[in-house]
Amino acid sequence: MKSLPVKNLIRKPGRTAALMLLTAFLALAVFGGSLVVLSLRQGLNSLEARLGADIIVVPSEAQSKVSFQNMFLQGTTGAFYMDAENLKRVREIEGVEKAAPQIFLASLKADCCSVKIQVIGFDPQADFTVQPWIAQSYARELGEMDVVVGCKVEAGVGEILRIYDQRCKVVGRLAATGTGLDTAVYCNLDTIRLLLQAAEEKGVSHKVTSDSAADQVSAIYVKVKVGYDVGRVNTAIQGHTRKASAVRTRSMITDVSDSLAGISRTVTGLIGAVWVLAFLILLIAFAMIIRERRREFAVLRLAGMSRRMLSGLILRETALCSLLGGVLGVCAAALLAFPFATLIETALGLPYLTPDLRTVALLAAAAVAAAGIVGSLASAGAAWRLSRVDPGTILREGA
């Protein structure tokens, strides 16, 4: 009698809904929680990939690490400058394979919105960090006043972005990284110098260490030759540069992964707590429901159902109900996690990149399956106890 469990579920909608809600919470917790943890991990990987350098040299007055890290992690704008002389000095240090300068500029509000945009100028000849990434969406070289925008900047290819009243043409959009870089705009050094000049004319003073805009850089990305110790090179750079500090990217990534580990632990703890609690509630709920339905089950035994068939019926019914609840929970979690991904990212202040569809689908399937298994497990004990009792004993109880 295949349809009996289905009929039992449909024709007792209140009971079914209550049980489904419980398992929905389970699935919501496991799917939503794991999704956040996975997204953070993905964000960390992407940050690692995007940093691409071993050492980053920034002006020491820029409170080096903090503001620089915030730029990467939270997309706050940063504008700090040092003498371009430092670039030459870094290149002379033994063990430095490549050194690429970048110049930062914080726009006033762009015409789109009230937020400042971080403009990052890089040197196409020397760069080894930004270009491989840009190449994924724009294969040609950036011309004057050409910009490539991060995925969170709403500007289509071909559109004009006004920065300090200069018309910049959007030639490409970058893939999401989940980091602060998603809110930035990229251009070459010539363009950013023009923009700096325009800013100066508008009366926005950027701290310039020398007279000419051509003689300043904001950051130097350094790649260390194979076989050289990054720590040593770092110390050497520290000693040879003026008013600058060298930051090992590894330490930045370690900082991020530390806070990620903290969040992971908290989320895992929460998931665990929800599971233990929900499992206990389910255990009690099934024990009560099966107790209440003892007579119904005794009647089925009397009509010729064997113990096995009866246990099967109960298990099928609870599994079906739990699976449906699991689907419901996953849907609810998806409805919260995906539309509000940006909000979660901003709130956590860490790189956050939603995994690809396949991973998400697998995670959803696992969450639904887990809900189904837990629901069935919670009812298994009560079903087994019930099947051990002679139906005659049950019928005597409440005739």
Partner 1 sequence: MKKRVFAWLTLALALVMAVGSVTFLGACVHEDGSFGTCHWASRALLGIGILLAAQSGIALATGHAGAYLCMAFTAALGLLLPGTLIRLCGMATMHCRAVMQPAMTLLNAGILILALAGFLLETRRAKRGTP
Partner 2 sequence: MLKAENVGKMYFRKSGQANYFYPVRDVSLTLTPGAVTVLTGRSGSGKTTLLHLLAGLLTPSEGKVYWDGTDLYSLPDAALSRLRNEKIGVIPQGRSAVDTLTVLENVQLPAALYRRRMPDAAPWLASLGIGHLAQARPAELSGGELRRVAIARALASEPEVILADEPTGDLDDENTERVLRIFRQAAQAGKAVFLVTHELDALRYADFAYRMENGCMTPCETQMK
Residue numbers at the binding site for partner 2 (CB under 8 A): 1, 4, 7-8, 10-12, 295-296, 299-309, 390-393, 395-396, 398-399
Residues 92-111 contacting partner 1, CB under 8 A:
109-110
Residue 332, binding choice from partner 1, partner 2, none, Cβ under 5 to 8 Å by partner class = none
DSSP-derived 3-state class of residue 188: strand
Identify which of residues 114 and 125 has a Cβ nearer to partner 1 in the complex: 114
- For the chain, the residue count is 399
Regarding 339 and contact with partner 1 (CB under 8 A), the answer is yes
Tell me: does residue 264 bind partner 1 (CB under 8 A).
no
> Is residue 75 involved in binding partner 1 (CB under 8 A)?
yes
Q: In terms of C-beta density within 10 A (0-12 exposed, 13-18 middle, 19 or more buried), how is residue 38 classed?
A: middle
346 contributes a contact to partner 1 by CB under 8 A: yes
Buried b (16+ CB within 10 A) or exposed e, 147-177: bbbbebbebeeeeebebbebebbbbbbbebb
With CA atoms as reference, report the closest residue to 287 among 385, 387, 167: 385
113 lines the binding site for partner 1 (CB under 8 A): yes
Least separation, in Å, of the C-beta of 339 and partner 1? Answer: 3
Asked if 153 is part of the footprint of partner 1 (rule: CB under 8 A), the reply reads: yes
Choose the one of partner 1, partner 2, none that binds residue 11, judging by a C-beta under 5 to 8 angstroms depending on kind.
partner 2
Q: Which does 281 bind (CB under 5 to 8 A by kind): partner 1, partner 2, none?
A: none
Rounded Cα distance between 223 and 98, Å, is 5
Report d(CA 93, CA 225) in Å as an integer: 11
| Residue 235 binds: one of partner 2, partner 1, none (C-beta under 5 to 8 A by kind) | none
Which partner in partner 2, partner 1, none is near 14 (CB below 5 to 8 A by kind)? Answer: none
Given a contact cutoff of 8 angstroms between Cβ atoms, the answer to whether 340 and 332 are in contact is no
Q: Which residues pair with 221 in a beta bridge?
A: 56, 100
117 touches partner 1 by CB under 8 A: yes
CB of 57 within 8 A of CB of 241? yes
CA gap 77, 114 in Å, rounded: 13
Q: Which residues bind partner 1 (CB under 8 A)?
A: 75, 109-110, 112-115, 117, 151-155, 182-183, 335, 339-340, 342-343, 345-346
